[in-house]
Amino acid sequence: MTVNAHHVRYLIIGGGLAGSAAAQSIRLRDPHGSIVIVGQEINRPYNRPPVCREYLHRKTGRAAMMTVPLGWYSDNQVQLITGQRVTRIDTTRHLVAIDTGAEIQFDKALIATGVSPRPLHVPGGDLPNVYDLRTIEDAEQILNGIDKARTEGRPHNPENRSGPRGRVAVVGGGLLGVELCETFARLGLRVDLFVAHPHPWHRFAGPHVGGAITRHLEAHDIRVHTQARIAQIQGDGRAQRILLDDQRSFDTDFVVTAIGTVLNRDILRGTPINAEKQLLVDQHCRTNVQDIFAAGDCAAVFDPLFAKHRVLEHWHSARLLGSIAGANMAGDPTAVYDIVNQYTTEVFGIAASVWGESKHATHRHTRLLPSGGMLEFGVSDANKVSQTLALAAPREYESVLHDLVQSRTDVTGKIEQLIDPETPLNDLLK
Ligand SMILES: Cc1cc2nc3c(=O)[nH]c(=O)nc-3n(C[C@H](O)[C@H](O)[C@H](O)COP(=O)(O)OP(=O)(O)OC[C@H]3O[C@@H](n4cnc5c(N)ncnc54)[C@H](O)[C@@H]3O)c2cc1C
């Protein structure tokens, strides 16, 4: 589809989850205002969580991952322009430039451009079989890497050359890196996980949970290398070996990095829009510039619970922020961000849920559950609960773990009760 210079009421920059949630939210409130979404990917807005699971397992196709059914855009008079990129925003003239040379004028604009994978800046980090994962196209490249490794790669056991083949090095022990380990192991690859910290999930979990998840991964044949700093990726035109800064080296057939994300800043150049690590928005998803909103992974929303701007970067948050932004763009200021954020993950059958803000958690306390799971409480310097985490825990704990964060419960003198599995957690809320 080509873009002619025209004027729209609502312009959404970025065709992802937050962008499509915003369009839905606008349409609920304004049945007629013109809406245009400009997205640089060729795909319609889709959900990314299945990209590292079902899609790599070839258990789902693109159509099943879309955020809204195909007919939704035309049924709701939303013009979706894919494969085109906004290159510049002129906040004074309320106008954007597209990479085709066209321009669009808007009344209200939403920046929902997401983030990009943080590149691994080491020698060899740019070899062709060093991948990262954000898009379906990235997943396609990884699928090629998997196929090649399984057919032409190194045998798992060098003494059994007719046995299974294919090794992958996963760099990064966050949510995505750990989830990828499971996917690759289930696809029959030998997996080495390299984590720069003392344990995986270092950004949001303490040593007890980190140790438990390490053992769980190892029990499923993942080789977890902690305190592992990549010095170099070596190979003859292709990655064949990971070299750590302590000189240990590990053979591999390909590498996947998952070491965090960076904001796509280029369209902000020359604008007065406030950004730190992410674009700063208030509880209504408004930037500091009138009529310009931001939502999703590219935004740091003001969270009154922690009295600061927070980068959330999770599926639920991106959808919610998109929806709040859309409501406010359409003139509904009652839509505000005022919840306890939560995210979940699952690794080899064990589920983890997290509520709240890990950066405020200077102390962590663990309650071991009779069922074998554990709860972890991140407590701030002021002795207030900032974050709670449930690992392999019964669902009945969810509401109290949410409430402990929501009320920023003061646990001064109550740590014994916090970790004692016999003390009902609701008692701490009183
Ligand atoms: C592989 C993977 C697995 C994940 N799994 C989970 C999970 O299990 N649970 C969870 O909570 N979260 C998960 N996430 C995170 C979650 O998917 C994101 O928080 C969510 O997709 C963010 O939505 P968004 O709309 O902000 O960004 P995106 O979905 O990234 O959409 C932004 C879009 O804007 C486009 N764009 C960028 N710049 C421009 C421009 N200048 N012009 C036009 N378009 C532009 C981008 O190409 C992109 O298509 C996962 C993420 C990944 C990558």
Residue ID of nearest Cα to ligand 1 atom 29: 16
The pLDDT of residue 425: 96
Compute, in angstroms, the gap from residue 257 CA to the centroid of ligand 1.
17
**One domain, residues 14 and 57:** yes
Say whether both 230 and 290 belong to one domain. no
Domain identity same for 194 and 157: yes
**Residue 190, domain CATH:** 3.50.50.60
Structure tokens at 260: 């965090």
Please name the residue whose Cα sits nearest to atom 4 of ligand 1: 49
Domain boundary among the residues 241, 257, 273 is at 257
Torsion of CA 79, 80, 83, 85, to 10 degrees: 70
Q: Which ligand 1 atom sits closest to the C-alpha of 48?
A: 17
Give domain status of residue 88, yes or no: yes
Q: Is residue 338 part of a domain?
A: no
Residues with CB under 6 A from ligand 1: 13-19, 38-41, 48-49, 51-52, 85-86, 112-114, 133-134, 176, 264, 267, 296-298, 313-316, 318, 343, 345
**Ligand 1 pocket mutation, candidates 44, 60, 79, 113, criterion most atoms within 8 A of CB:** 113
Query: By residue range, what is the domain housing residue 71?
Result: 6-116+261-329
**Tally of domains in the chain:** 3
Dist. CA 11–CA 43, nearest whole Å: 18
* 374 in Cβ contact with 418 (< 8 Å): no
Residue 334, in any domain of the structure: no
Based on the fold, state whether residues 206 and 300 are members of the same structural domain. Answer: no
Counting ligand 1 atoms within 8 A of each CB, the residue from 48, 116, 135, 179 with the most, and so the one to mutate, is 48
Q: Is residue 162 part of a domain?
A: yes
Domain limit, last residue, from 257, 275, 306: 257
Ligand 1, residue 16: give the atom nearest the CA: 31
Phi (first) and psi of residue 20, to 5 degrees: -70, -35
| 44, two tokens | 């319609």
Burial classification of residue 95, based on how many CB atoms lie within 10 Å of its CB (0-12 exposed, 13-18 middle, 19 or more buried): middle
Last residue of one domain, picked from the residues 226, 257, 288: 257
Report CA(244)–ligand 1 centroid distance (Å): 30
Strands of the sheet containing 385-391, edge to edge, are 342-347, 350-356, 385-391, 374-379, 363-368
Q: Do 105 and 12 have their domain in common?
A: yes
Tokens of 325: 């932004």
* Sign of the dihedral defined by the CA atoms of residues 319, 50, 136, 69, in that order: negative
121 located within any domain: no
On whether the CB atoms of residues 139 and 56 are closer than 8 A, the answer is: yes
Residues 323 and 383 in one domain: no
Four-CA torsion 162, 241, 253, 155, nearest 10 degrees: 10
Find the 75 Cα to ligand 1 centroid distance in Å. Answer: 24
Q: Please give the distance, rounded to the nearest whole angstrom, from the Cα atom of residue 110 to the centre of ligand 1.
A: 15
Helix axes 17-29, 315-329, angle to 10 degrees: 40
Nearest ligand 1 atom to the CA of 84 is 43
Task: Answer yes or no: do 199 and 311 share one domain.
Answer: no
User: 277 with 252, same domain?
Assistant: no
CA of 162 to the centre of ligand 1 (A): 40
Q: How far is the CA of 293 from the centre of ligand 1 (A)?
A: 17
Interval 353-407: pLDDT, tens: 999 999 989 999 999 999 999 999 999 999 999 999 999 999 999 999 999 999 9
Same domain for 157 and 60?
no
pLDDT in tens, 230-278: 999 999 999 999 999 999 999 999 999 999 999 999 999 999 999 999 9
Spacing, Cα 17 to ligand 1 middle (Å): 7
Q: What is the pLDDT of residue 141?
A: 98
Q: How much is the pLDDT for 109? A: 98
Ligand 1 centroid from CA 48, angstroms: 6
CATH number at residue 406: 3.30.390.30
Answer yes or no: do 249 and 276 share one domain.
Answer: no
In a domain, 418, yes or no: yes
Cα 296 to Cα 225: distance, rounded to the nearest angstrom:
32
Protein residue with least CA distance to atom 35, ligand 1: 14
387 domain-assigned: yes
pLDDT tens string for the chain (430 positions)? Answer: 444 458 999 999 999 999 999 999 999 999 999 999 999 999 999 999 999 999 999 999 999 999 999 899 999 999 999 999 999 999 999 999 999 999 999 999 999 999 999 999 999 999 999 999 999 999 999 999 999 999 999 999 888 888 899 999 999 999 999 999 999 999 999 999 999 999 999 999 999 999 999 999 999 999 999 999 999 999 999 999 999 999 999 999 999 999 999 999 999 999 999 999 999 999 999 999 999 999 999 999 999 999 999 999 999 999 999 999 999 999 999 999 999 999 999 999 999 999 999 998 999 999 999 999 999 999 999 999 999 999 999 999 999 999 999 999 999 999 999 999 999 999 999 7
pLDDT at 5: 57
Q: Count Cα atoms within 13 angstroms, Cβ side, for 35.
A: 31
Q: Which atom of ligand 1 is nearest to the CA of 296?
A: 26
CA 331–ligand 1 middle distance (angstroms): 26
Task: Indicate if 306 and 372 belong to the same structural domain.
Answer: no
